[in-house]
Amino acid sequence: MRWGLVGASHIAATRMIAAFRATGGEVVSVLSSDAGRAAAYAAEHGIARGVSDLDSLLADAEVDAVYISTTNEKHHAQAMAAIAAGKHVLCEKPLAMTVADAVEMVRAAERAGLVFATNHHLRNAGSHIAIRQAVAEGRIGEVLSARVFHAVYLPPVLQGWRLDNPAAGGGIIPDIVVHDADTVRFHLGEDPAEVVAMAGQSGLGKGVEDSCMSVWTMPSGVMVQTHESFTHAHAATGFELHGTEGSIVARNVMTQNPVGEVILRRSGEETALPFSDHDLYARAVTLFGEAVAGRGRPSADGVDGVKSLAVAEAVAEAARTGRRVAVDYGGI
Ligand code: NDP
């Protein structure tokens, strides 16, 4: 797979370029809106071409697929152009600024017969795969509730548009609630129905929320509690599932790294569940490549991206209005 990077981003530099190369792919071109930055980024990362207009990247016959990691407000137009140019798309979350735009992207890729995936990394983690397997095997019985602890401290290098630019998709809800929605859907195999939420600023956000707590109901009756923040330096992350026969308590698993611990608690006894320590992003890229080759589906496809965004939109509306909000999945 020969990749074009739409966005000279931090996530591409720190995770994705390595993931593309580790899985046998090549990175042949990178787009930045600034020609100088495109050239510098290309040189720094050993990429053959640095371009400053999307059309030239998309006209490049050596680009088979694009990875979109610009700021969030650009994803929709760039994905639509890439699909029109016949490129497969791996798009960062949130897919778009609205569910309607995200649905349009997914439908366009379907019509064009192209693979479209969302870069939700957490469902690729060995820890989460182990949790899902334990639940599927009935080791905690019938699931009653889930708790998601995803309050972190935003690293200084990322303290830009996420904290002060709602027009670029800043704020904890588009940034982190989408990941939590995807992870909960992955484990429970159903989509949140209704949400209540509160959001606010706790020290870093300027013009956008930097912290959020919400409660979601699932169609089965399972209740989900989530906490996301950019300002918690010492909280550590976690994911818990509680069932009629046991609980799963996972620590330090809402992360980009293949780390953490997964404990199964039953009848007062605790057992650590083993899990693979493979790279999360490399697995996502591998499954994307398999899907392009006609084998299987990406780990998180376009519909997954629409649904995680729909939950985040509902959480944002619930926090804004103080009302209980039904999640609108945009007909997908
Ligand atoms: P960055 O802020 O690093 O990059 C976004 C855009 O900002 C780039 O396309 C670039 O645009 C501009 N930019 C970046 N660095 C500089 C700089 N030094 N000087 C000037 N402009 C710069 O974004 P992130 O990597 O943090 O996030 C990109 C996307 O990826 C977002 O959608 C985010 O939600 C997602 N993401 C996903 C993660 C995951 O694990 N799935 C993790 C992190 C992010 P230009 O060159 O055109 O100016």
Would the CB of 324 count as within 6 Å of ligand 1?
no
Would the CB of 13 count as within 6 Å of ligand 1?
no
What CATH architecture is 2-121? 3-Layer(aba) Sandwich (3.40)
Would the CB of 29 count as within 6 Å of ligand 1?
no
Q: What is the mean pLDDT of residues 302-326?
A: 98
Q: Are the C-beta atoms of residues 248 and 140 closer than 8 Å to each other?
A: yes
Would the CB of 159 count as within 6 Å of ligand 1?
no
The per-residue pLDDT for 3 is: 98
Q: Which residues belong to CATH 3.40.50.720 in the chain?
A: 2-121
The per-residue pLDDT for 249 is: 98
Q: Are the C-beta atoms of residues 26 and 77 closer than 8 Å to each other?
A: no
The per-residue pLDDT for 82 is: 98
Would the CB of 323 count as within 6 Å of ligand 1?
no
User: Which pLDDT band holds residue 230 (cuts at 50, 70, 90)?
Assistant: very high
Quick one: CA torsion of 125, 129, 134, 135, rounded to 10 degrees? Answer: 100
The per-residue pLDDT for 39 is: 98
Would the CB of 308 count as within 6 Å of ligand 1?
no
pLDDT, averaged across the chain: 98
Taking the centre of ligand 1 as the mean of its atom positions, its distance from the CA of residue 270, in whole angstroms, is 41
Q: What's the number of CA atoms in the CB half-sphere (13 Å) around residue 152? A: 18
The per-residue pLDDT for 311 is: 99
The per-residue pLDDT for 100 is: 98
Taking the centre of ligand 1 as the mean of its atom positions, its distance from the CA of residue 309, in whole angstroms, is 18
List, for residues 180-221, the tens digit of each pLDDT value.
999 999 999 999 999 999 999 999 999 999 999 999 999 999
Percentage of residues in the chain with pLDDT exceeding 90? 100
Would the CB of 71 count as within 6 Å of ligand 1?
yes
Q: Which of 3, 19, 18, 119 is nearest to 72 (CA)?
A: 119
User: Which pLDDT band holds residue 264 (cuts at 50, 70, 90)?
Assistant: very high
List, for residues 87-145, the tens digit of each pLDDT value.
999 999 999 999 999 999 999 999 999 999 999 999 999 999 999 999 999 999 999 99
List, for residues 153-170, the tens digit of each pLDDT value.
999 999 999 999 999 999
Best substitution site from 29, 70, 208 to test ligand 1's pocket, by max atoms within 8 Å of Cβ? 70
Domain 122-281+309-326 matching CATH 3.40.50.300: the answer reads no
The per-residue pLDDT for 246 is: 98
Q: Which residues belong to CATH 3.30.360.10 in the chain?
A: 122-281+309-326
Transcribe 91-130 into DSSP letters. EPSS--SSHHHHHHHHHHHHHHT--EEE---GGGSHHHHH
User: Edge-to-edge strand order for the sheet containing 143-151?
Assistant: 269-272, 261-266, 247-251, 238-243, 143-151, 223-229, 211-217, 194-200, 325-326
The per-residue pLDDT for 271 is: 98
Taking the centre of ligand 1 as the mean of its atom positions, its distance from the CA of residue 10, in whole angstroms, is 5
* 224 phi/psi in degrees, rounded to 5: -125, 135
